[in-house]
Amino acid sequence: MKLDPLLEEALVASVSMTILAAFIALSFYALTGISPWPFVILSECGAFGMGIILLTLSSPRRRRP
């Protein structure tokens, strides 16, 4: 079963945004020693949806074969 190309791009964007959010939170903790909760994590949650939308819509279009 082949997924719709837009859905594939949304899944890839979700994975990449999750990796980026985890990297930012861990970097914040490693550099400052302060827990990233709630400030960094909650602001990342707000940016997560916008990031997925921007990554999905700006990806090159592929036609289903």
Q: Is residue 41 part of a domain?
A: yes
The Cα–Cα gap between 10 and 54 comes to 10
- Encoded tokens for 51: 């990031």
Q: Is residue 65 part of a domain?
A: no
What residues make up the domain containing 44?
A: 5-58
Q: Is residue 52 part of a domain?
A: yes
As for how many domains the chain has, the answer is 1
- Encoded tokens for 20: 């980026």
Contact 48, 17 (CB under 8 A): yes
Q: Is residue 35 part of a domain?
A: yes
Q: Is residue 64 part of a domain?
A: no
Q: Which range (6-10, 39-43, 57-61) has the least confidence?
A: 57-61
Q: pLDDT (tens digit, 9 = 90+) per residue, 15-57?
A: 999 999 999 999 999 999 999 888 888 888 888 888 888 888 8
Contact 64, 4 (CB under 8 A): yes
pTM of the model: 0.78
Which residues fall within 8 angstroms of residue 39, CB to CB, at 6 or more apart? none
